[in-house]
Amino acid sequence: MRVYLDNNATTMVDPQVKKAMDPFFLELYGNPNSLHDFARETHADLKLALERIYAGINAPKSDSVVVTSCATESNNWVLKSIYFDYIINGRKDHIVVSEVEHPSIIATAKYLESLGVKVSYLPINSEGLIEADSLRSVITPKTALVSVMWANNETGAIFPVQEIGEICKEHGVLFHTDAVQAIGKVKVDVQSLHVDYLTFSAHKFHGPKGVGALYIKKGKEPTPCLHGGEHMGGLRSGTLNVPGIVGMGKAIELAIDSLDFEMPDVQELRDKLEDALLEIEDTFVVTPREKRTPNTILISFRGVEGEAMLWDLNRAGIAASTGSACASEDLESNPVMEAIGAEADLAHTAVRFSLSRFTTEEEIDYTIEKTKEAVKRLRSISSSYAYKPKEQMSEG
Ligand code: PLP
């Protein structure tokens, strides 16, 4: 059996999304900016896709949703444009990010630091959560931007974006949130909170890879991401990725529809998996369930190296993860576990299972069985874990 439980890294394209994209390769391949019928034939579908994308985050028509190539691009754009628009001219000198942002934010923040920008990193607490009040003590009159993700990719922890937005508003500071792991898992409505910029990426919600977006509140338009033609209102030039945009439009519509009907089932399966794995002794999950996205578990099995666990699971046909896919070739401990301050041996044992609306109960039952076998096997050969199977312990 093959079981894919790495949906926070990427997802399968929904067959309905693929079907919607299909005509845009061999038939409707015109450049929408040209002046002939091949171009015009794409317009209705592009318009529909953009309407679906706006509706997906409840963005008012007056605001912009600029299609990019991925969330990494959107995140880089926001931070670097802040540098050009507010910092290089001396108006501001400081930004705030959380210490557990995706590498596309952390690495960009570090780059800006190397250019002289002051950066504060908001900590997470022992449950892997951000406390909004911690922001108050770091904001200064020179703070240009706060960037805190909506939901964390490792733990699924949902961060207090509503309160953070309020604090930013009080201080006149721009607020960006990376909502990559939130769309399709929890309700994301840009009008329900104070937010200036919001990032998302189609391949995390059963859309195609290579297409993402940046929501921009009216009046907060940053320096263009790519200079060139008039594409995307001049904010991001480059011939439009028509199949990608159509795919993202269909994918976000399906993802939003799934929130009420399919996500509760995903959560039930996630909880079943979690309950069963927590029956194994010396096993830990840091963030409480109700404070997480419904599809994610980051779990530590004491004495079991995360990579060894992935190896055993992979041999059984199960895909999971030990950290962000961007870092998964390094044998590093899980960055969120490190930020929480977990003991070193626990930080190395974290394994992430992330489900999707395509995950079945049969797959979860199989995963429970194979994970239990793997823990047993790996603890029995672990030099750091004195493992005794339960039966043996009850015998004496
Ligand atoms: N932000 C978060 C929270 C993510 O989880 C990811 C991908 O793992 C990204 C950004 C980057 O997304 P993309 O692959 O679209 O660049």
Percent share of the chain, pLDDT over 70: 94
Confidence of residue 323 (pLDDT cuts 50, 70, 90): low
Between the CA of 180 and the centroid of ligand 1 the distance, in Å, is 6
Which stretches within the chain are classed as H helix? 15-21, 23-26, 37-56, 71-82, 103-114, 161-171, 242-261, 263-278, 306-315, 335-340, 344-347, 361-380, 390-395
Residues of the chain with CATH 3.90.1150.10: 3-9+260-381
Query: What is the distance between the alpha carbons of residues 331 and 340, in angstroms, rounded to a whole number?
Result: 19
Q: HSE on the CB side for 287, CA within 13 Å?
A: 30
Among residues 150, 148, 159, which one has the least CA distance to residue 183? Answer: 150
Place of tokens 């993860």: 321
Above 80 in pLDDT, residue 337? no
The predicted pLDDT at position 233 comes to 86
Q: What's the pLDDT tens digit per position in 234-278?
A: 899 999 999 999 999 999 999 999 999 999 999 999 999 999 999
Which among 104, 188, 322 is the best mutation to test ligand 1's pocket, defined by most ligand atoms within 8 Å of the CB?
Answer: 104
Q: HSE on the CB side for 153, CA within 13 Å?
A: 30
- Ligand 1, pocket residues at CB < 6 Å: 70-72, 102, 104, 149, 153, 178, 180-181, 201, 212, 324-325
Confidence of residue 378 (pLDDT cuts 50, 70, 90): very high
Between the CA of 71 and the centroid of ligand 1 the distance, in Å, is 5
What is the number of the ligand 1 atom nearest to the C-alpha of 75? 10
Between the CA of 181 and the centroid of ligand 1 the distance, in Å, is 8
Above 60 in pLDDT, residue 350? yes
Between the CA of 102 and the centroid of ligand 1 the distance, in Å, is 7
Q: Give the right CATH number for 15-258 from 3.40.50.360, 3.40.640.10, 1.10.260.40, 3.40.190.10.
A: 3.40.640.10
Nearest-CA residue for atom 10 of ligand 1? 71
Q: What's the pLDDT tens digit per position in 104-163?
A: 999 999 999 999 999 999 999 999 999 999 999 999 999 999 999 999 999 999 999 999
Above 70 in pLDDT, residue 327? no
The predicted pLDDT at position 137 comes to 96
Which among 180, 185, 214, 321 is the best mutation to test ligand 1's pocket, defined by most ligand atoms within 8 Å of the CB?
Answer: 180
What is the number of the ligand 1 atom nearest to the C-alpha of 72? 16
DSSP state of 202: G
Q: What's the pLDDT tens digit per position in 84-103?
A: 999 999 999 999 999 999 99
Q: What's the pLDDT tens digit per position in 197-215?
A: 999 999 999 999 999 999 9
Which among 78, 153, 197 is the best mutation to test ligand 1's pocket, defined by most ligand atoms within 8 Å of the CB?
Answer: 153
Q: What's the pLDDT tens digit per position in 300-318?
A: 999 999 999 999 999 999 9
The predicted pLDDT at position 103 comes to 97
The whole-model pTM stands at: 0.94
For residue 388, give the 3-state DSSP assignment.
coil
Known catalytic residue: 326?
yes
Q: What's the distance, CA 213 to chain centroid?
A: 13
Between the CA of 72 and the centroid of ligand 1 the distance, in Å, is 6
CATH code of the region 3-9+260-381: 3.90.1150.10
Q: For residue 145, list its beta bridge partners.
A: 95, 174
Confidence of residue 395 (pLDDT cuts 50, 70, 90): very low
Above 90 in pLDDT, residue 386? no
- Neighbouring CB atoms inside 10 A of 119's CB total 16
The predicted pLDDT at position 294 comes to 98
Above 50 in pLDDT, residue 328? no
Between the CA of 324 and the centroid of ligand 1 the distance, in Å, is 9
Region of poorest pLDDT, from 269-278, 321-330, 367-376: 321-330
Q: Are strands 64-68 and 350-354 parallel, antiparallel or unpaired?
A: unpaired
Q: At what angle do helices 103-114 and 71-82 cross, to 10 degrees?
A: 30
Catalytic hit among 70, 168, 225, 326: 326
Phi and psi angles of residue 199, each rounded to the nearest 5 degrees, phi first: -105, 140
Segment 347-362 shows an average pLDDT of 95
Above 60 in pLDDT, residue 173? yes
Place of tokens 């038939």: 27
Above 90 in pLDDT, residue 330? no
Above 60 in pLDDT, residue 391? no
Residues of the chain with CATH 3.40.640.10: 15-258
What is the number of the ligand 1 atom nearest to the C-alpha of 149? 3
Nearest-CA residue for atom 9 of ligand 1? 71
Confidence of residue 230 (pLDDT cuts 50, 70, 90): confident
Query: What is the distance between the alpha carbons of residues 3 and 161, in angstroms, rounded to a whole number?
Result: 33
Place of tokens 């920008």: 117
